[in-house]
Structure 1
Amino acid sequence: MESVTKVIATSILPIFLIISSGFLLSHWKEIDSGPLNTLSLFILNPALIVHSITLTELETDALVRVSLGVCLFVTAVLLASWVLGRALGKRDSLLYSFLLIATFGNTGALGIPLADFAFGDLGRQTAVLFAAVHGVLVFTIGLAIASNSGAQSRMGSLKRVFRYPLVYAVLLAIAARTVDIAPQADSAAMETLGLVGDSAIPVMLVILGIQLSETEYRSALSMTITPTLFRFLLSPCIGLIVALGMGFQNATVAQVFVLLTAMPVAVAPVIFSVEFASDTSVGGVTIPEYVSATVFVSTLVSMPVLTIFVTLLKSGAVI
């Protein structure tokens, strides 16, 4: 089994050092993460997706299995979080917010770099595909859930997904790979895409650090326990069941799949809650504060938790 110290040094510490740089920069100098986020969403991430999927070492069968597995996983987690939320007495806006933070993990800004550091090129390629499919679900199903907590049109919210090039990047990459028209890896076009796409990883981590530094979390700390436990206990158990059911032939692909089901809460629910439920409060805590606090706490907790997960997964003891 790979030592915990080595996992921390090679996989966990580099990620949290970059996140910390964004966190500290935001405290030292006033900085707006909006332009960086736009750059990431519209240029860097699409380039990373197209480059990774078109040149991936994954066979077509693995591409299909990972994509289908992500859809099955999100569906199962959504159902489990709804049952748990109702059992705990959560209703209306609080229930919908709980569904968002329990269902959608940070597979992009945190998952992709972690898979890259921990499992190499194949890990990154698997994580990019997972995050791409997951991202489409976030901006469709996630928006649909969030819209229930506000007065805006659900259909109008769903249409927003087509404003982001993420969907088109996934379709373009899959189409190019399917009909075998992608340029060679050493061509100028693909090298340019690779250069732009590689920069997405550190930029995403810096953005995450900036966003965490702006999080108002103190008043909602007590409400973060249940969703944080859900993300790190129940979610990866469901992910493991799905991975075993999908029958991945490559152990690394299976391990990365399970790892990405144990990510801390995604940042997108914060954006959704601000837009749809900014005026809603529960027990003196606004919905955006509740969601933001859970993102903050789950991200901090993820450092020791993900160290354990990576160590176990790389040992082959889990899958």
Structure 2
Amino acid sequence: MVDLFGIFASAVGPIVAIAGVGYALATLKDVDPEPLNTAVVYVFAPALVFHSLAVTELAAGTLARVAVGILVFTGVMLGISEFVGRATGEEEPVLSALLLVAVFCNSGNLGIPVSDFAFGDVGRQTAVLFLSVQAMLMYTVGVYIASRSGGSSGLAGVKRVFRLPLLYAVLGALLARALNVVPASDTAGMQVLQLVGDSSIPVMLLILGIQLARTDTGAAVSQAWKGTALKFGVAPVVGLGVALLLGFENPTVARVFVLETAMPAAVTPVILVVEFAADREAGGISVPEYVSTCVLVTTLLSIPVLTGVIAILQSGLVI
């Protein structure tokens, strides 16, 4: 039996609580989320990804296979989401926002604890790897898409990617592992990196809550169904197909990979659209309002969805 209350208490509950603090803060005070945005993009997130990728204990072959799987999954979901968006009449800036919602999963502040709860140490380590690779894509492909949503040219978006430190944090961590020069986890430098990186999760959730307090959710919810359908109806099926195609040697890694693809919409796209498309509107709502509402809706719906996915994966029926 899957313990629904246990999943909520250990993973979803804390997320709702921290985002609720941000919501309450923005309701009581006139809070500008942009300075917090900047801190996450340029300080907290790079530290989180560098530390996570540098200290993971998964084998090199597993690292490579998971990374390839995430690349394939992201490419397939981008194609499907773009097709569905255009086929249903979506135009910029909502089309690009839809891609951000449908493609990128909340593999960090939800994916890591849920994977740990469901599959133990291997689950946690696989989720951290998924977060690290997806973060690199988020701050490259995701920045390009957010830039497109904000009306910037593709070239301008690509140029901005190379000014973001997270890309270099990932490359630096991979190089340190390759040269076997990663400092011990108990050294002062690594402890500081872990502390700063861990700070990114509550700050990102505070930003989400602040943005939700500024959101006309009544108007935005009516437009969130496409992203929600893609996130829960299509993404896990694509994730399962990719996992079966790659043939992971460790079935637990394969199951966690599929579980990560079933996560709700990531919080980071809220950060990106506030950074790149804060002033763009469509249908009476802003791009940040649309993305924030999709994050809220998919996070709330993820409680029953993830419970079912975990039950199926733990049964061994599909992988």
Q: For this structure pair, what is the TM-score category when the shorter chain's length is used for normalisation?
A: 0.7 to 0.9
Check the 8 A contact 2:15/2:109 in 1, yes or no: no
- How far residue 298 of structure 1 moved from its aligned partner, in angstroms, is 2.0
Identify if the C-alpha distance between structure 1 residues 314 and 198 changes in structure 2 by more than 3 Å, giving closer, same or farther.
Answer: farther
Structure 2: distance between partners of 1:255 and 1:18: 28
Structure 1: distance between partners of 2:173 and 2:231: 30
Identify if the C-alpha distance between structure 1 residues 305 and 211 changes in structure 2 by more than 3 Å, giving closer, same or farther.
Answer: farther
Partner of 1:302: 302
Partner of 1:106: 106
1:16 aligns with 2:38: no
What TM-score do you get using the length of structure 1 for normalisation?
0.85
Q: Report Cα offsets for 1:211-267 as digits up to 9, x if no partner.
A: 333333211322211211110110111011112222222333222222221222234
Partner of 2:4: 4
Structure 2: distance between partners of 1:61 and 1:126: 13
Partner of 1:262: 262
1:23-62 equivalence runs, <5 A: 23-62=23-62
Identity in percent = 48
Q: Match of 2:245, SS?
A: helix
Between 31-40 and 255-264, report the one with greater CA deviation: 31-40
Partner of 1:221: 221
Partner of 2:96: 96
Residue 220 of structure 1 aligns to which amino acid in structure 2?
A: A
Residue 252 of structure 1 aligns to which amino acid in structure 2?
A: T
Check the 8 A contact 2:73/2:239 in 1, yes or no: yes
- How far residue 69 of structure 1 moved from its aligned partner, in angstroms, is 0.9
Structure 2: distance between partners of 1:156 and 1:69: 28
Identify if the C-alpha distance between structure 1 residues 190 and 260 changes in structure 2 by more than 3 Å, giving closer, same or farther.
Answer: same
Residue 254 of structure 2 aligns to which amino acid in structure 1?
A: A
Residue 281 of structure 1 aligns to which amino acid in structure 2?
A: A
Check the 8 A contact 2:37/2:271 in 1, yes or no: no
Identify if the C-alpha distance between structure 1 residues 229 and 153 changes in structure 2 by more than 3 Å, giving closer, same or farther.
Answer: closer
Identify if the C-alpha distance between structure 1 residues 41 and 252 changes in structure 2 by more than 3 Å, giving closer, same or farther.
Answer: farther
Partner of 2:183: 183
Structure 2: distance between partners of 1:40 and 1:120: 28
Partner of 1:195: 195
Q: Match of 1:244, SS?
A: helix
1:138-287 equivalence runs, <5 A: 138-149=138-149, 151-270=151-270, 273=273, 275-276=276-277, 278-282=279-283, 284-287=284-287
Check the 8 A contact 2:97/2:146 in 1, yes or no: yes
- How far residue 4 of structure 1 moved from its aligned partner, in angstroms, is 2.6
Give the root-mean-square deviation of aligned CA atoms.
Answer: 2.8
What TM-score do you get using the length of structure 2 for normalisation?
0.85
Identify if the C-alpha distance between structure 1 residues 272 and 16 changes in structure 2 by more than 3 Å, giving closer, same or farther.
Answer: closer
- How far residue 151 of structure 1 moved from its aligned partner, in angstroms, is 4.2
Check the 8 A contact 1:48/1:193 in 2, yes or no: yes
- How far residue 190 of structure 1 moved from its aligned partner, in angstroms, is 2.6
Identify if the C-alpha distance between structure 1 residues 234 and 167 changes in structure 2 by more than 3 Å, giving closer, same or farther.
Answer: same
Between 271-280 and 302-311, report the one with greater CA deviation: 271-280
Check the 8 A contact 1:148/1:154 in 2, yes or no: yes
Identify if the C-alpha distance between structure 1 residues 21 and 96 changes in structure 2 by more than 3 Å, giving closer, same or farther.
Answer: closer
Structure 2: distance between partners of 1:175 and 1:129: 15
Q: Report Cα offsets for 1:35-66 as digits up to 9, x if no partner.
A: 43333333333232222222211000111111
Check the 8 A contact 1:51/1:193 in 2, yes or no: yes
Residue 9 of structure 1 aligns to which amino acid in structure 2?
A: A
Residue 3 of structure 1 aligns to which amino acid in structure 2?
A: D
Structure 1: distance between partners of 2:77 and 2:272: 19
Between 263-272 and 49-58, report the one with greater CA deviation: 263-272
Identify if the C-alpha distance between structure 1 residues 315 and 192 changes in structure 2 by more than 3 Å, giving closer, same or farther.
Answer: farther
Structure 2: distance between partners of 1:128 and 1:177: 16
Partner of 1:115: 115
Stretches of structure 2 lacking an aligned partner (at least 5 in a row)? none
Residue 64 of structure 1 aligns to which amino acid in structure 2?
A: A
Stretches of structure 1 lacking an aligned partner (at least 5 in a row)? none
Structure 2: distance between partners of 1:86 and 1:109: 31
Q: Name the count of aligned residue pairs.
A: 318
Check the 8 A contact 1:115/1:127 in 2, yes or no: yes
- How far residue 90 of structure 1 moved from its aligned partner, in angstroms, is 2.9
Check the 8 A contact 1:8/1:307 in 2, yes or no: no
- How far residue 156 of structure 1 moved from its aligned partner, in angstroms, is 1.6
